[in-house]
Amino acid sequence: MKKLFIATLLLLSGSFLFAQNSNCPFKYGATEEDSLKSLEQITNFNMFYKSKNYVDAYEAWRYLVANSPCCWDGIYTNAQNLFGALIKAEKDSLRREHLIDTLIYSYEVRNLYFPEKFSKGYCLGFKAYNTMQYRVKSMDFDQIKELENLFIQSVELEKEKTQPAIWDKYFQLSEGITKASKDTSVVIEAYGRATDYLDISINNSQVQYEKQVAVMDSLYEVYKQGTIDTNYFVELCKKPAADTARQMKLIVNYRKTLAKIEKAVAPYASCEVLEELYSEKLANNKEDLSAINKMVMTMAKGGCVKSPIFKDALEILHKANPNRNSAYWMGNLSLNSFGSTKDNAEIDRAINYFNEAVTLSETNEQKADANFMLANAYYIKGSYSEARSAAYAALKFQPNMGKAYILIGDLYANSVGRCSGDDIPLACAWAAADKYAKAVAVDPNCKENADKQRAKLRFPSKEDLFKRGLSSGSTYHVGCWIQENTTVR
């Protein structure tokens, strides 16, 4: 009895202290009886929900939302699955509509009761999601445009935190509006938001993933030293392991969503259409860096990097707010410019921009890509040693980057003239062949390209080998700038 009294006292104290939320003065109820009833209904909901008895779980849910809506955030977290099952099973059309209304209502109020758990943008997004899921077929065009605005409000509030499911529905709706109205700007603007924010979502998740991997690597080093036993090591790894799994799932889902959107937008977003759409917008929005960034990312992903509009937008963006992406694409612009002008100054500019991109990169993938492009710029300049160093830097961050090994192989293959003073002419081809083989070993997808490059190689003749007393399979040291051991072929 004493324990029950203490528990009840703590419960009621908790309800009183919760009065700081003006939308919900009591957590479990105003009286002891109300609080005990709410706790009973939470238990009922959990029991019925976990056993997939959704009809009885719904009765407990109704009581809690009506009488103690701030008692537990789980009544909202689990609402999507609960109502999804109930709506699917319901045969009566009027009751089905009531269930849909209630599900949408749950997203309208959860931000009031649990603002720290459910943001306004999140709630707007899933309100729009469920409205589209269950009501869009009966909506007229004006209502559909209102629904589009609801998605836009959600995305602009959540930005990179927008859930993949919201992006999916929002883009489906935008594509439908474009088909109905023949207004391509609708779907392209949706795509611009997606490319802008989804790239940040992927980047942020990748950063968190790599941080947790580093934590586990550090723990493993401590474990190898014998400082901690196996059981404690396993216990310490549980949280970072769960975090890496969660972040990787997010990365996969975000990338799938972006790939799906990119495929869907392709028929609408030709470079000509983007230039026409963005030329006026750029002229009128030169101070709006967010809008300019969307233009840059949309045109970059659409392969429109040679467009004057892309160049103008990118230069404005990089001058006002240099970041990894702007530096990376400025480097690409300089490479493209060199291709048409042969101005060596453009190569030096490209090298500077790619070095800047390396410095500003946050994830291993970004660092690998920026270093690889830096290696290409050095290659074009004729700075082979620097090009190799940059390629190896890329491989440090992405060991399975086969194209980096192919680039090193190309450097060696093209060093015949530079290394003509080596003991055996064409010996650098052996070193090149090694790199092409390594490329295929780390990345089988690059086999076709590696085989193509290897087929171009010219190896030392049998006469040259005979003169120097070498036979196939023996070790040979390639001198010059290469300085690597290889195998005689």
| 336 lies in the same domain as 413 | no
- The answer to whether the CB of 393 falls within 8 A of the CB of 361 is no
Distance CA 198, CA 184 (A): 21
Tell me how crowded residue 272 is: count the other CB atoms within 10 A of its CB: 10
Give the pLDDT band (50/70/90) at residue 12: very low
Q: Of 359, 383, 399, at which residue does a domain stop? A: 399
CATH number of the domain bearing residue 390? 1.25.40.10
Distance CA 331, CA 397 (A): 20
Q: What is the pLDDT of residues 311-320, one digit of tens each?
A: 999 999 999 9
| 11 lies in the same domain as 90 | yes
CA dihedral 429, 430, 433, 439 (to 10 degrees): -120
Whether residue 309 lies inside any domain: the answer is no
Q: Residue 168's pLDDT is what? A: 95
User: Which residue range is the domain that position 412 belongs to?
Assistant: 401-489
Per-residue pLDDT at 205 exceeds 50: yes
Q: Residue 420's pLDDT is what? A: 66
Rg (C-alpha) for the chain, rounded Å, is: 31
Distance CA 452, CA 456 (A): 7
Q: Of 57, 89, 118, at which residue does a domain stop? A: 118
Cα 344 to the center of its chain, rounded Å: 35
What pTM was estimated for this model as a whole? 0.79
Per-residue pLDDT at 6 exceeds 80: no
Distance CA 389, CA 400 (A): 16
Whether residue 18 lies inside any domain: the answer is yes
Q: Of 347, 379, 399, at which residue does a domain stop? A: 399
| 381 lies in the same domain as 433 | no
| 328 lies in the same domain as 375 | yes
Whether residue 78 lies inside any domain: the answer is yes
Per-residue pLDDT at 392 exceeds 90: yes
| 3 lies in the same domain as 88 | yes
| 86 lies in the same domain as 8 | yes
Q: Residue 280's pLDDT is what? A: 86
Whether residue 23 lies inside any domain: the answer is yes
Tell me how crowded residue 120 is: count the other CB atoms within 10 A of its CB: 14
Whether residue 196 lies inside any domain: the answer is no
What's the rounded mean pLDDT across residues 203-225?
A: 94
Q: Residue 479's pLDDT is what? A: 87
Instruction: Spell out where 88-134 has E strands.
Output: none
Per-residue pLDDT at 470 exceeds 80: no
Contacts of 430 (CB under 8 A, 6+ apart): 459, 460, 476, 478, 486, 487, 488, 489
| 3 lies in the same domain as 25 | yes
Per-residue pLDDT at 15 exceeds 70: no
Q: Residue 62's pLDDT is what? A: 96
Per-residue pLDDT at 11 exceeds 50: no
Distance CA 229, CA 231 (A): 6
Average pLDDT along the chain: 91
What's the rounded mean pLDDT across residues 436-445?
A: 97
Tell me how crowded residue 461 is: count the other CB atoms within 10 A of its CB: 12
- The answer to whether the CB of 434 falls within 8 A of the CB of 486 is yes
| φ and ψ at residue 478, rounded to 5 degrees | -85, 125
Per-residue pLDDT at 143 exceeds 70: yes
| 414 lies in the same domain as 461 | yes
What's the rounded mean pLDDT across residues 422-433?
A: 82
Whether residue 351 lies inside any domain: the answer is yes
Whether residue 305 lies inside any domain: the answer is no
| 358 lies in the same domain as 409 | no
Distance CA 25, CA 6 (A): 22
Lowest-confidence range among 51-60, 134-143, 206-215, 471-480? Answer: 471-480
Q: What is the pLDDT of residues 328-372, one digit of tens each?
A: 999 999 999 999 999 999 999 999 999 999 999 999 999 999 999
Per the structure, the count of domains in the chain is 3
Q: Residue 422's pLDDT is what? A: 58
| 355 lies in the same domain as 387 | yes
Whether residue 54 lies inside any domain: the answer is yes
| 425 lies in the same domain as 328 | no
Q: What is the pLDDT of residues 71-119, one digit of tens each?
A: 999 999 999 999 999 999 999 999 999 999 999 999 999 999 999 999 9
| 365 lies in the same domain as 469 | no
